[in-house]
Amino acid sequence: VTVAHAPAVNLIEWVNTTFGVGPDDRILFVTALTFDLSVYDVFGILAAGGSIRIATGEEIQEPAALLRRLADEPITFWDSAPAALMQLVPLLPTDGDGAHRVVSRTLRLIFMSGDWIPVHSPDLMRTVFPAVRVVGLGGATEATVWSNFFPVADVDPEWKSIPYGRPIQNARYYVLDESLRPCPLDVPGDLYIGGPCLSSGYANEPGLTASKYLPSPFAGSPGERLYKTGDMARWRPDGNLEFLGRTDS
């Protein structure tokens, strides 16, 4: 996937403005440079004047070591797939009654993306990191890392999953039927992404690019495209998207 500077800058500006990221922030880097999350973890935090604390390969393989770094260092920002964070859960400290104890009061942002977020996890994270704000994000590499988000406040006990949320700045989401017509509220359909957040396409793969990046039937100007994600979703009455899985699964 080839990404121009403009959509990457759009993402960075959105995160840093929306969540007030600045010189006092320190991210614990726990992903690979080849993973799309690194676009923000490196360029985004540095653009805000913050700093990067890099976990070693050995620490990434040892959850207890990551937990020690969160407890011992003034880390303010965690960004990973849910599984990377959930591996810390069995090691979280408890008191004599089995209640979880505070790990850090400096961690203020947890970003989770790339997979289903366990519904119980936001409340647990707020117990051990009292200052934290938990944010679920989604999208596709083809739409430049993240293009939707959902700040998780109170978790509805009726939820089967954390909502997918709403588009970020300069991203547009469409739930469409087979004829590329918008689906009504609560009706499942194919999920498409449009707007300046889109990447350029697949390097040296013009046929694949043409099959996934389609001319937008909603274009306000020539050349606008939609990216076909391969996901199923539906719009909820509250304006949030609900992710329903892959069309090919």
Other Cβ atoms less than 10 A from the Cβ of 227: the count is 24
Residue 249 banded pLDDT, cuts 50, 70, 90: low
pTM of the prediction? 0.92
Beta bridge partners of 180: none
pLDDT, tens digit, for every residue of 155-211? 888 888 888 899 999 999 999 999 999 999 999 999 999 999 999 999 999 999 999
Smallest CA-to-CA distance from 197 within 227, 177, 218 is with 227
Mean pLDDT on 42-65: 96
**Cα 184 to Cα 181: distance, rounded to the nearest angstrom:** 10
Q: Report the C-alpha gap between 207 and 205 in whole angstroms.
A: 6
Residue whose entry in the numeric block shows the structure tokens 């859960």: 89
Q: State how far the Cα of 44 lies from the Cα of 195, in Å rounded to an integer.
A: 21
CATH topology of domain 5-166: Rossmann fold (3.40.50)
The pLDDT confidence band at residue 26, using thresholds 50, 70 and 90, is: very high
For the domain 168-246, what is the CATH code? 2.30.38.10
Q: What is the pLDDT of residues 59-85, one digit of tens each?
A: 999 999 999 999 999 999 999 999 999
Give ranges for CATH 3.40.50.12780 in the chain: 5-166
Q: In whole numbers, what is the pLDDT of the chain averaged over residues?
A: 94
Convert the pLDDT of each residue in 122-150 to its tens digit: 999 999 999 999 999 998 899 999 999 99
CATH 2.30.38.10 boundaries in the chain? 168-246
Distance (Å, whole) CA 40 – CA 197: 14
SS3 readout for the chain: CECCHHHHHHHHHHHHHHCCCCCCCEEEECCCCCCCCHHHHHHHHHHCCCEEEECCHHHHCCHHHHHHHHHHCCCCEEEECHHHHHCCHHHCCECCCCCECCCCCCCCEEEEECCCCCCCHHHHHHHHCCCCEEEEEECCHHHCCCCEEEEECCCCCCCCCCCCEEECCCCEEEEECCCCCECCCCCCEEEEEECCCCCCECCCCHHHHHHHEEECCCCCCCCCEEEEEEEEEEECCCCCEEEEEECCC
